[in-house]
Amino acid sequence: MDDQTPPRIYETPPTERPIDEAEAARAAGLAANEHIKIASGYLRGTLADGLLKHATGAISEDDGQLVKFHGMYLQDDRDLRPERTRKKLDKAYSFMIRLRIAGGVVTPKQWLALDYIATTYANGTLRATTRQTFQYHGVIKSNLKRTMAAIDAALLDTIAACGDVNRNVMAATNPAQAGAHKAAYQLAKDISDSLLPKTNAWREIWLDGERVVGAEEDAVEPVYGKTYLPRKFKTVIAVPPSNEVDIFAHDLGFIAILDKKGRVTGWNVTVGGGMGMTHGETDTFPRTADVMLFCEPDDALKVAEAVMTVQRDWGNRKVRKNARLKYTIERYGLAAFRAEVEKRVGRALPDPKPFKFENNGDRYGWTKGDDGRHHLTLYVASGRIKDHEGAGPKILTGLRRIAQVHEGDFRLTGNQNVIVANVPEGKRPEIEAIVAECGLLKGASALRRNSIACVALPTCGLALAESERYLPDLLTELETSLAAHGLSEDEITIRMTGCPNGCARPFIAEIGLVGRGPERYHLYLGAAFDGSRLGKLYAEDVKASEIKTVLDPLFAAYAKERTKGERFGDFLVRAGYVARTFNGPDFHAKTGALRSAA
């Protein structure tokens, strides 16, 4: 710490469980969502009755908040809004449904079931998300129960895929590290199952299950209580040297510490990462997680619950925009947070062990695991599993045909891609033939392979600008620019979102584009290639048509002035084009271009 920097003063943490009585919540001025949760009867609300109201495709505003805990968001097609408004029609409402698939692993039989649901009840596509799971779009209200029944029949569910709970737990997918992946996947499943809400509301509402006697008693949710968490809570498991789950962008993370034989000896625990912010409000910011401590494998589940319950008790329930764990740690300090976690675990835990990440991308094409099995990682543009027109890849058909003959499993990655995993030697030629026929390995540039986009328009109600529909065209423009400077094969991460909630984790990409309005984006630069450092705002309100113009001279300088092995984000910081972001509140300091790139 600089001698001129005053010591940080932290607040004193609360000592009691969250308020869960209606009158006390009103007196304390808690956020509106806290009142909705208290009154919901453990996430039931009036959802069952609302499904019977056929006059509208929507549900009530309060139920719109509760349905998130069931894995759904109410949306409408914003492309159709103007026409439907002119005709005085209701909005074109539908639901986005997100599945809970810990570690992103499904069987071929489950894949075929999910494909059937997509083509029967949704918009004909599956979408692999940055949460290592699937989303359906375009499910109308009258098909909700049919869709949920089909998901349940596939031995899957959507419980806690959204909402103020521990959401889908992500895990490392590197198939070449079979033993380490198995440990990461098992931990992800254990955490997901352990921290799952216990209410029977999901089965009652969607599968016509019977109401459990005593469902109003506190014992229904021994961990969460009536008010669950202050905000969403995201957990990930990483296995170095790959950081494809972007561990520093999440509330809670476990980094595998491996011995010389690649076996997991324990986990470094990270806390306090998160991407979302609000434009123009500097008290909101993305933050990279702190590496807090090390734990033995047998303690990992206890540590996960302890971290989540401290956030449950300490998180801000009055100001929702400051309710994530990252703000809790900024408010009370990492030392106090760690001490409380250790208290709840029951003993002091060691400091973190050394580790090293090299990237936060996927390994494409075929790899052979240390168990002799073969694995094929396929690039899926923005995670949209569909059959592209013309000469484009037939991804939906191709993966359906693979699932019909595949003997292993499928794995989704945090970068929206798909791995055809655990292919026996003898099955590889058959799968390769399907891949070739359906064009699943059609060439994608280095930039495209390192790109992510959120859904944004037309369905996301928060989107301020295009993302998934626009990024492919932008990448084509930037590929031309990179080629002109001899950078076509250079790996550079680029991510785009339609708003600053950061679902595609743009603030941790070397090039981050965040929607500000129609065809306008904030441009963030200078993040680390391995996902360990945030970018910095370089240019505000850049028109879509000018993004290439802004980036081209930076590509030119990078090609001429970089040192051997230097990554694009590191170069921009070292060469003085943009300030380094250290963390949290520092994200908003020293913004803008520090040096002309013209």
Residues designated as active site: 98, 167, 232, 234, 454, 460, 499, 503
Q: Is the peptide bond before 240 cis (omega within 30 degrees of 0)?
A: no
For residue 548, with 0-12 CB atoms within 10 Å meaning exposed, 13-18 middle and 19 or more buried, which class applies? middle
* Closest to 413 in 3D by CA, of 185, 167, 161: 185
Residue 228, classed as helix, strand or coil, is coil
Which amino acid is residue 378, in one-letter code? L
Looking up tokens 């400077």 gives: 485
Chain centroid offset of residue 473 CA: 24
List the structure tokens of 417. Answer: 């891609």
Q: Please say whether the beta carbons of 263 and 297 come within 8 A.
A: no
Strands 126-128 and 134-139: antiparallel
List the structure tokens of 290. Answer: 């702190």
Residue 454 in marked binding region: yes
Q: Please say whether the beta carbons of 180 and 263 come within 8 A.
A: yes
Residue 503 in marked binding region: yes
DSSP state of 344: H
Q: Indicate the helix (H) or strand (E) that contains 338.
A: helix 334-345
Q: How far apart are the first and last CA of the chain?
A: 36
Q: Please say whether the beta carbons of 380 and 393 come within 8 A.
A: no
Chain centroid offset of residue 20 CA: 29
* Closest to 521 in 3D by CA, of 495, 503, 547, 501: 547
DSSP state of 159: T
Distance CA 492, CA 344 (A): 42
List the structure tokens of 363. Answer: 């390994």
Query: At 317, phi and psi to the nearest 5?
Result: -100, 5
Distance CA 101, CA 111 (A): 12
Q: Please say whether the beta carbons of 84 and 167 come within 8 A.
A: no
CA angle 388, 393, 399 (to 5 degrees): 105
DSSP H helical segments within 256-324, as ranges? 300-314
Q: Is the dihedral of CA 85, 87, 90, 95 positive or negative?
A: negative
How is the beta sheet containing 384-385 ordered, strand by strand?
72-76, 93-98, 134-139, 126-128, 384-385
Q: For the chain, give the longest Cα–Cα distance.
A: 71
Q: Please say whether the beta carbons of 231 and 304 come within 8 A.
A: no
Binding residues for [4Fe-4S] cluster: 454, 460, 499, 503
